[in-house]
């Protein structure tokens, strides 16, 4: 193995410790407990797991959490009514609507309804719009892309002037990650299902962010020697040696890529823990903004 392993679990723990220390100071000063409201519509197993981890993290850091579980067939009007009530609720600092929503619901309308000061996911059109424009500051940056950038900074990887390739253009990861890299003066190429000669494009990358949702798609011979590889993928792969019958793997073929890259995130234990750590940071920030 030539690549340095990027220990997302340990780095996320440092971030969480920092948040917990500020939360404890706030409590000692008689300030409110930063509180996150999560909204889960329907019974997707993966979404339920993520939402549960977010609530658990709040508890572990001394923060508050309120979970709203809504049936899959809830109406748009009812969901919007809940969002409005959370916007008005002074005990709630951050609102997170777990995505994806069932297809009958209008995600765009739901996200734009969330008060910008409580938009800890950074998905409201105002926050994303500010991220996309020069000289504008979003109040909150989406958690997974922010976690990827945090890992690069922590490892001392230079972003300015680097050739960065982002695989995937989703609203949750690929697009905001690309915007963040541009704002840090990287030269960014966004790849997707219609990209031609993908391996050749990826070979130009000093920094690769893989968020395409395809099991171990990125091969060792796609990687420039010494590149930093951030794997956002979370795919389950059949594995008869596991009790569950599967194991979690990324969008990158770890065994091959670790022999060529300079830095690599493992799956699990890379980007995943960073998403929650950044969410905790954003929720604390929301409470601080709302104190004023
Ligand atoms: N679904 C997958 N990732 C995320 C995330 O970061 N936030 C929300 N709200 N939904 C998601």
Which of the listed residues 67, 172, 176, 275 should we mutate to test ligand 1's pocket, taking the one with most ligand atoms within 8 A of CB?
Answer: 172
Q: Whose CA is nearest to atom 1 of ligand 1?
A: 99
Please give the pLDDT value at position 292: 74
User: Catalytic residue among 4, 73, 81, 121, which?
Assistant: 121
Please give the pLDDT value at position 208: 99
Q: Where are the beta strands (DSSP E) in 28-162?
A: 35-41, 64-70, 94-97
Tell me the C-alpha distance between 44 and 104, whole Å. 15
pLDDT digits (tens, 9 = 90+) for 160-194: 999 999 999 999 999 999 999 999 999 999 999 99
Q: Is the pLDDT of residue 1 over 90?
A: no
pLDDT digits (tens, 9 = 90+) for 217-229: 999 999 999 999 9
Which CATH code fits 31-115?
3.40.50.10860
Tokens 């799956």 correspond to 267
Tokens encoding 37: 């409201």
282 CA to middle of ligand 1, Å? 14
Return mean pLDDT, the chain.
Answer: 97
Which of the listed residues 108, 121, 146 should we mutate to test ligand 1's pocket, taking the one with most ligand atoms within 8 A of CB?
Answer: 121
- 136 vs 15, 111, 139, 140, CA distance in Å? 25, 20, 10, 12
Please give the pLDDT value at position 217: 98
102 CA to middle of ligand 1, Å? 14
Whether 205 and 164 have beta carbons less than 8 Å apart is answered as: yes
Nearest to 91 by CA among 72, 56, 127, 63: 63
Asked about 121 being catalytic, the answer comes back as yes
**For strand 228-231 and strand 235-238, is the pairing parallel, antiparallel, or unpaired?**
unpaired
What percentage of the chain has pLDDT greater than the value 90?
Answer: 99
* Residue list, ligand 1 pocket, CB within 6 Å: 96-99, 121, 143-144, 172, 275
- 187 vs 163, 205, 208, CA distance in Å? 5, 10, 12
Quick one: which atom of ligand 1 is closest to the CA of 143? 6
pLDDT digits (tens, 9 = 90+) for 13-44: 999 999 999 999 999 999 999 999 999 999 99
What percentage of the chain has pLDDT greater than the value 70?
Answer: 100
Q: Whose CA is nearest to atom 2 of ligand 1?
A: 99
Q: State the CATH architecture for 142-273.
A: 3-Layer(aba) Sandwich (3.40)
Tokens encoding 169: 């253009």
Tell me the C-alpha distance between 175 and 198, whole Å. 18
pLDDT digits (tens, 9 = 90+) for 97-146: 999 999 999 999 999 999 999 999 999 999 999 999 999 999 999 999 99
Domain 31-115 and domain 142-273, same fold? Reply is yes
- The residues spanned by each domain of the chain are 31-115, 142-273
Which of the listed residues 98, 119, 122 should we mutate to test ligand 1's pocket, taking the one with most ligand atoms within 8 A of CB?
Answer: 98
Asked about 112 being catalytic, the answer comes back as no
């Amino acid at each position: 193995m030539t690549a340095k392993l990027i220990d997302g679990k340990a780095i996320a723990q440092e971030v969480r410790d920092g948040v917990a220390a500020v939360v404890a100071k706030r409590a000692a000063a008689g300030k409110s407990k930063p509180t996150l409201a999560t909204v889960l519509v329907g019974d997707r197993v993966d979404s339920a797991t993520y939402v549960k981890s977010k609530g658990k993290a709040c508890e572990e850091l001394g923060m508050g959490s309120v979970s709203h579980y809504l049936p899959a067939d809830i109406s748009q009007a009812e969901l919007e009514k809940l969002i409005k009530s959370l916007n008005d609720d002074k005990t709630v600092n951050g609102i997170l609507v777990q995505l994806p929503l069932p297809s009958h619901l209008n995600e765009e309308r739901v996200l734009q309804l969330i008060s910008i000061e409580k938009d800890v996911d950074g998905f409201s059109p105002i926050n994303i719009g500010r991220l996309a424009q020069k000289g504008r500051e979003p109040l909150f940056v989406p958690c997974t892309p922010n976690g990827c950038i945090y890992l690069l900074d922590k490892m001392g990887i230079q972003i300015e002037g680097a050739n960065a390739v982002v695989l995937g253009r989703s609203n949750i990861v690929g697009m905001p990650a690309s915007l963040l890299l541009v704002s840090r003066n990287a030269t960014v190429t966004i790849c997707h299902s219609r990209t031609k000669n993908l391996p050749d494009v990826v070979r130009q990358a000093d920094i690769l962010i893989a968020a395409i949702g395809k099991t171990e798609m990125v091969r060792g011979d796609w990687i420039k020697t010494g590149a930093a590889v951030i794997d956002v993928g979370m795919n389950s792969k059949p594995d008869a040696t596991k009790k569950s019958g599967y194991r979690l793997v990324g969008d990158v073929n770890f065994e091959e890529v670790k022999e060529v890259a300079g830095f690599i995130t493992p799956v699990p234990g890379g980007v995943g823990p960073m998403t929650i750590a950044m969410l905790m940071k954003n929720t604390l920030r929301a409470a601080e903004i709302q104190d004023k």
